Structure 1
Amino acid sequence: MSIQTKIITVLVVVLGGLLLGDLIVLDRVVLEGFRKLESQETRREIGRTMAIVDDEVKSLDPVASNWAQWDDLAEFAQTGLPAFAEQHLSNTILDTLALDMVIVVDRHGRVVLSRFRNRQTGGVIHVDNLEHRDFPEDHPLLAHNRGVGHIRGTIATDNGPILTTAAPLLGKRGVPPAAGTVIIGRLMDKAAVSRISGQMNNALEMTPITAGLSSGQRETVNHILALDEPVIERAADGSWTALLVQRDLFGYPAALYSITAWSTIHGLGADTVRTASIMAILASLTVIAVILFLMRRLIVHPFANLKRELLDIRASGDLTKTIPASGKDEFALVSREINDLLTERA
């Protein structure tokens, strides 16, 4: 193997190793940094979306506030006269207000009125945690016992999650003691989900966690509950889908949400790494080309000239000839030594 071949081999191995190390760093450090950044952005997007889902319950505030100041309703909480409910809390009125649930509880926790009706289907809604004749004093929705304003949250039902707001019945005077608590609810329907999806510019889907879940959906819910965090799946087109379970006020799983959005962060990272890799390869090839050029000019050509001069002397048999030895490099030094040797032999 010639010296030139050996040097080229060493250069290729060394620069190839450096290039490989550079590519590994780009993938493991730079691209991984973009992956982490995308993961953080994904979780922020999930948090923002679910915050809007939770805030959807605030749409009940106007009705809850008006009813909390309604003296007649406060009086009804104490008397329970059926005529009032028939006139002011009929199904027609509840449908007009887009309410699927109304409960009136007196100050002792006794249920004066309870109506659970899906306004879209007309069917009965079953809510295990609210179907009581008497509410315990520590019930989380007894606003008049909690000393706070509106209590908001989501409650799991057999018809899906129902947005719920509870307010103390203080009447127009607005000061304690309250006559009781009014609890109103609205099922989380497709229109609300579509509205939230439009606000977040992503695809949001909601599957109520009811007895009608398929075995696959039930398995997904159990898996997410076991992890106690969202499951995030990423696609090759840059989109990601997050699956998460929303718990209600009592800690029970109420709905399975699917959030799909698109992120350019990972794609930007991949483009950056790809560009950097191409530049590194081009730089390595340029370095090899420059080194080969310099090697041929500074090593190969002088060595070939020295060899040619020696062959000429050998062919002529004239030991008085000398080899050009200009310069101070190793080739000039070797040439002078050879000239001295030829002079001694001549």
Structure 2
Amino acid sequence: MRLQTRIILLMILFFMLFLAFGVVLIRVLLTPVQIAAEEEIAEINLARVAQALRRESEHLGVLIGDWAQWDETYRFVQDRNMKFQVTNLSPDTFRKTRLDLLIFIDKEGETVWSNQFDRPAQQQRHISELPTGHWPPDHPLLQFEDPKTPKTGIFVTGQGPLQIASSPILTSMGTGARQGTVVMGRFLDQDEIKRLNEQTRVSFDLHPAGEVQVPDESYRLPYYLDRFELLPEARTLLQDPDFSHLLGEDSELSQPRFYRDPQAPDRMRIFAHYPDIHGEPALLLEVRVPRIFNHLGRRLAIVVFASLAAIGILFSAVHLFIIRRIVTKPLGRLRRHIAEVQTDESLSERIGVRSNSEIGELVHEYNKMLERLEENRRRRVEAEGQLRASERRFKELSIRDDLTGLYNTRYFYQGLKHHFEKCARLNRPLALIFLDVDRFKQVVDTHGHIRGSQALREVAQTIKACIEAPAFAVAYGGDEYVVVLPDKSRADAVRKAEEIREHMSATSYLAEHGLDVRLTASFGIAGFPEDAQDLEELLAIADSSLFYVKSIGRDGIA
């Protein structure tokens, strides 16, 4: 047998062994890595869904706090006046707040007013799991560890899971004897789940615990996340403070279980239990995510095997050519250039070989690969810069009010605490201005909600034009604003409030819509250390000052 034939047969044998080794390597190493990457993405989506549910409960807690700590509610549960019912408990209230349940209970446990409403059907409903008349004193919804902190969570009923919140009834200042309890609820019906699907961009369903059939165990995927350290970029992102607070803690969830979808092999289903308001497993979260890595893995396997085949054929041709020709010099140049690239990672230099042989083609492809690598490196640098810019923009959007462009309440409490602690540490003053647009409801009643929203944006621009950093303005809610003035005394704050007040009086609002709306505002001021020695007292004094101005006729400063 000729030497060349023997070499060809040996090359074929080694090539087959190489392909077999590739198959084993992919099945042993790539498949678990691929599944673990899919599970990691699925867990991130699961955490996003859990955070969305927690955020909805928090929003409900904020809403019930506004109702429960309100002087009008405080009086209503005592005298049951019809004016409060007509003004605040109309069907329009349920439509705007998306509430399905609203109950007022007095301090004796008697139901003062109750409405259990089926919004989709536009009719009354009855939730049998809740008392109808008298509430026992030890009912969980009437028990609070902190009288100023509402209780929120999931409450399972025969009509579906209900996001529920309860809060003690106190005065607007959060003081006074507790006069009862407000209970609010919103059913997690299909409309709510659809809204959360669009909000999280995750396909999921909620099932009562124990009432849904999970796929057969034969479809269950092994849990690989404890076995591999995968996707370091994703894990680093999850640990970043600017990102992790968006997902929140998912310690409330049970250990997730992963399944291949029996109806769609390229889709994964993940199940985990979500607790109710008592901390017991109440809902079974089902999240569906596409198995992107499974699809890419199959394509990658095809590409790998095709690449291996192409490389094997090319290697065989080059090897035969080496038998016939001396190729030491061009191969040496190629080896030296690769070593230089590995040493200094320089991708700009190219190898010049004047040859139409396989070696010349190899060098040509190598030079093209360097060009692609150089282009990929440039694109990667650009993409990383864009990603950092997007992260900064996303962080900025998370602390801005969508309507006015001012900072929102989340940033307000963080920023105020930071500046207060700094001023206290450096023995510097700090002042607060609480601002409430006078009789703004008349603007909305006269010109509509859209024009009212535009007027609020224009008022925000008026305030923003009157302040300079480090001072900042906050859209506190509705027609209320707050201005934080670090390093400014109460007297400075009074002058600044007067400046804002004069600008507002001189401004014609909604002028671009052909209207001439004139607005005034009431200002409440508090200064550190003149009026208060701690942050809570500072907020309380500014709020009470604003309340005082409104009580004596509005359009003033106190």
| Band of TM-score, shorter chain | 0.5 to 0.7
Q: What pairs with 1:1-346 in structure 2 (closer than 5 Å)?
A: 8-61=8-61, 63-77=63-77, 79=78, 81=80, 92=91, 95-96=94-95, 97-107=97-107, 113-121=113-121, 122-128=123-129, 133-137=134-138, 139=140, 141-142=141-142, 144-175=144-175, 177-207=177-207, 209=208, 218-220=212-214, 229-234=256-261, 238-251=266-279, 254-262=282-290, 264-291=292-319
Change (3 A) 1:251 1:232: farther
Is contact 2:80–2:112 with CA below 8 Å preserved after alignment?
no
Change (3 A) 1:32 1:278: farther
The TM-score normalised by the length of structure 1 is 0.65
Is contact 1:150–1:165 with CA below 8 Å preserved after alignment?
yes
Change (3 A) 1:145 1:203: closer
Bigger radius of gyration = 1
Aligned length: 288
- C-alpha separation in 2, matches of 1:94 and 1:257: 30
Change (3 A) 1:249 1:202: same
Kindly state the Cα deviation for residue 184 of structure 1 after the two structures are TM-superposed. Answer: 0.7
Greater mean alpha carbon deviation, residues 191-200 or residues 39-48: 191-200
Kindly state the Cα deviation for residue 7 of structure 1 after the two structures are TM-superposed. Answer: 5.4
Change (3 A) 1:189 1:138: closer
Change (3 A) 1:232 1:175: farther
Is contact 1:109–1:135 with CA below 8 Å preserved after alignment?
yes
1:110-169 Cα deviation digits (max 9, x unpaired): 655554343444353325366683445582x33654345222211111111111122221
Change (3 A) 1:80 1:293: same
Structure 2 stretches lacking a partner, 5+ long: 221-253, 327-558
Is contact 2:45–2:287 with CA below 8 Å preserved after alignment?
no
- C-alpha separation in 2, matches of 1:268 and 1:51: 29
Is contact 1:69–1:174 with CA below 8 Å preserved after alignment?
yes
The TM-score normalised by the length of structure 2 is 0.43
SS at match of 1:15: helix
SS at match of 2:183: strand
Kindly state the Cα deviation for residue 266 of structure 1 after the two structures are TM-superposed. Answer: 3.6
Change (3 A) 1:222 1:249: farther
Structure 1 stretches lacking a partner, 5+ long: 299-346
- C-alpha separation in 1, matches of 2:166 and 2:303: 58
Is contact 1:31–1:270 with CA below 8 Å preserved after alignment?
no
1:172-204 Cα deviation digits (max 9, x unpaired): 221254323211111123322222222233434
Report the residue type matching 2:214 in the other structure.
T
Change (3 A) 1:162 1:94: farther
Kindly state the Cα deviation for residue 4 of structure 1 after the two structures are TM-superposed. Answer: 6.5
Kindly state the Cα deviation for residue 22 of structure 1 after the two structures are TM-superposed. Answer: 2.6
Greater mean alpha carbon deviation, residues 117-126 or residues 48-57: 117-126
- C-alpha separation in 2, matches of 1:107 and 1:22: 74
- C-alpha separation in 1, matches of 2:286 and 2:134: 37
Kindly state the Cα deviation for residue 106 of structure 1 after the two structures are TM-superposed. Answer: 4.3
Is contact 1:240–1:260 with CA below 8 Å preserved after alignment?
yes
Kindly state the Cα deviation for residue 40 of structure 1 after the two structures are TM-superposed. Answer: 0.3
Aligned counterpart, 1:323: none
- C-alpha separation in 2, matches of 1:130 and 1:12: 81
Is contact 1:125–1:159 with CA below 8 Å preserved after alignment?
no
Is contact 1:143–1:167 with CA below 8 Å preserved after alignment?
no
SS at match of 1:220: coil
Root-mean-square deviation (Å): 4.2
Is contact 2:68–2:167 with CA below 8 Å preserved after alignment?
yes
Aligned counterpart, 1:319: none
Greater mean alpha carbon deviation, residues 273-282 or residues 58-67: 58-67
1:79-114 Cα deviation digits (max 9, x unpaired): 475868865776746644542222334456665555
Change (3 A) 1:247 1:62: closer
Report the residue type matching 1:233 in the other structure.
R
SS at match of 2:36: helix
Kindly state the Cα deviation for residue 271 of structure 1 after the two structures are TM-superposed. Answer: 3.1
- C-alpha separation in 2, matches of 1:8 and 1:102: 84
